[in-house]
Structure 1
Amino acid sequence: MAVQNPFFGKREPEPFQRHTPPANGLNTLASGSAPAVGALAGGLTGQKPQASSVGDSSGSKLTVGPNIKLKGVEITDCDTLVVEGTVEATMDSRVIHISENGAFKGSAEIDIAEIHGEFNGTLTVRQKLVIYSTGKVNGKIRYGKLVVEEGGQLAGEIEAGIGAGARASAAPAVVRAEPAAMAA
C-alpha cells in the first residue's frame, strides 16, 4: 500500500488495525480508561510530564517571554499572567507573576501579585501583594496583604486594607511613600 506524505496531497485510507499498547507502561489505553494528556505525551516522547507550580495547575495562563514587548492591549479571561518581557496593558486576572527581567506598565486588578521585576501604574491586589528583593512597584497601589522582602521597593500612593474584611470596615488608610522611606 502506498501512503503519500500527509503534508502534500491526500493520504490513502488505511484499513482499521487494532492498536496494541506499547510496553512502556501505557496499558491504560487497552483497559479503556483514558490517561491524562500529560502522561500520554510524556509516555510517547520518553519524557516525564513536568509538574506546574502552585496556582498554575488550572485555568488559562499567558506567558510573555523574554525580549517580547506586548503593548496597548486589554488582557481578559486570563487566570495567570507571567511577565518575562515587557507588557503595557490593562488587565483583570487572578495571578500576575513578574519575573526579575520583566516589566508591566499600566493598570491591573489582581487577586495575587508576585513582583520580582518592575510594575509601574495602577495596581489593585485584592488578596496578597508580594514584592521580592529585586522587585520595584511604583504608582497607585491598593492591596489586601503586603509582603516586602528586604531590598524590595514600593513607591507612590499606597492604600492598605482592601481585602474582604476591609470592605465592611470604614475608610482604609492611605500612605504616600518614597522608596527611601520603605526600609525593610
Structure 2
Amino acid sequence: MKLQQTPLPGVFVAESIPHVDQRGAFLRCFCDSELAPVLGSRRIRQINHSRTSRVGALRGLHYQFPPHAEMKLIRCLKGKVWDVAVDLRCGSPTFLQWHAEELTPDNAKLFVLPEGCAHGFQVLEPDSELLYLHTAPYHPKAEGGVAWNDPRLAISWPLPPVDLSQRDNNHPWLALNFEGITP
C-alpha cells in the first residue's frame, strides 16, 4: 500500500496495487503493518458494509464524540462514490475544510479519516457498496452529525442529493460559535 497525505492533516488515501492476471484480480484490502504509520496503536474494532441503491443518494455527515471517537477506513467494493472528510478538530489548521475522493473498486483507494473528522458520501453509480473499518464500536449516544448542505462547509456535491435519511436530513448546521471537537 502506498500512503498519500491529503490536504487535511491526518486524512490519507492508501492506494493498493491489485495483482491482475488471466483469472481475475487479487487485492490486499487491509494490512495493519503497512497502515501502521496512520493506525499507530489503534486496532480495528468494527467492520461495516453498506449498499446504497440510487444514484445521487447521500449519506452523512457523521462522526462520534469522544471518548467514542473513531478512525474510519473506507473502501468501495462495488460502484462509485464521492467520499468526503470534513475536519471538525478543535485547533486544526484545516478546521471546517473538506476533502473528497472518488472511490471505486478499480482505483482501489482506501480513504482514512481520523477521529474528529465527519464522513459522508454520495453515490455515483447504482448499488454502490462500501466497506468500513472502525477503530471504535458504534455508540448511539455518541453519534454526531452535520448538515450536508451547511453553508460554512460549502461542500460541492457532484449531483443533486436524493434519498437522504430522515436523520441525515435533520442534522443541524454548525453553530456560529462551534469551536470543534477534541478527538
- Higher strand content, 1 or 2: 1
| Bigger helix share | 1
Larger RCO: 1 or 2 (CA < 8 Å, sep 6+): 2
- Aligning the two structures, in what range does the TM-score lie when normalised by the shorter sequence? under 0.3
TM-score scaled by structure 1? 0.24
TM-score scaled by length of structure 2: 0.24
Highest Rg: 1 or 2? 1
